[in-house]
Amino acid sequence: MLKLALYAEFHLQYFLKLKKIQQYYDVRFSKFDFSEINAQNIETVNHLIEIMDGKEIRSDIGNGAVQLTYDDINLYKKENMRMYLKRKNLIESTNFPVKEILHGTEINIGFAKLRAEGIEFLNTKQLLNGNKIPVQFKCRELWISYHRKKSN
């Protein structure tokens, strides 16, 4: 009997979270099979709730590199780039929408804002030589938050 109550409570909480997601993102989860309530979708639901609550999410990039592309041609001027590459921490907003798929429904969750700490730039020489290439770096920590509007 306790198992059944826990099962029912888990699913009630899951569907309440889905309702909250539907209202926040103006989407509908019209039909899906109960078997779709799996580890991956539970993680996605919890991730979306964290985003809705405005939490920064720590990204585990391991030994990978982060790559940022800039449209601002002034950044690539030598003196500007020299100042930029002295940074050890970075906060950047993106202007491309991030989407998630949950129960067959595409959700536009917003625009990512990155906060990187302990940066080590990887392509400093090429950037200082005036190459207009994406900035690549490794960092000790990378945090991501999402916003509903484009940054200016």
Q: State the pLDDT confidence band at 152, using cuts at 50, 70 and 90.
A: low
Show the domain range for 136: 2-147
Q: For position 98, what pLDDT does the model report?
A: 92
Provide φ and ψ at 139, rounded to 5°. -150, 155
- pLDDT in the model for residue 3: 85
The CA-to-CA distance between both ends of the chain, in Å, stands at 56
Average pLDDT for the chain: 89
Q: Quick one: pLDDT at residue 12?
A: 95
How confident is residue 62, by pLDDT bands cut at 50, 70 and 90? low
What is the predicted pLDDT for the residue at 151? 56
User: What is d(CA 145, CA 2) in angstroms, rounded to the nearest whole number?
Assistant: 38
Residues 9/16, Cβ–Cβ less than 8 Å: no
pLDDT at 72 over 80: no
**Phi then psi for 95, rounded to 5 degrees?**
-120, 30
Within a domain: 152 = no
pLDDT band at 30, cuts 50/70/90?
confident
- Does residue 50 lie within any of the structural domains? yes
The confidence score (pLDDT) of residue 107 equals 96
Per-residue pLDDT, 26: 94
Counting the structural domains of the chain, the total is: 1
Residue 29 in domain: yes
Q: Is residue 73 part of a domain?
A: yes
Residue 104: what pLDDT?
93
Is the pLDDT at 50 greater than 90? The verdict is: yes
Mean pLDDT confidence for 52-71: 83
Q: Which whole-number Å values give the CA distances from 110 to 2, 48, 104, 122, 139, in the listed order?
A: 40, 11, 18, 28, 24
pLDDT in tens, 78-117: 888 899 999 999 998 888 889 999 999 999 999 999 999 9
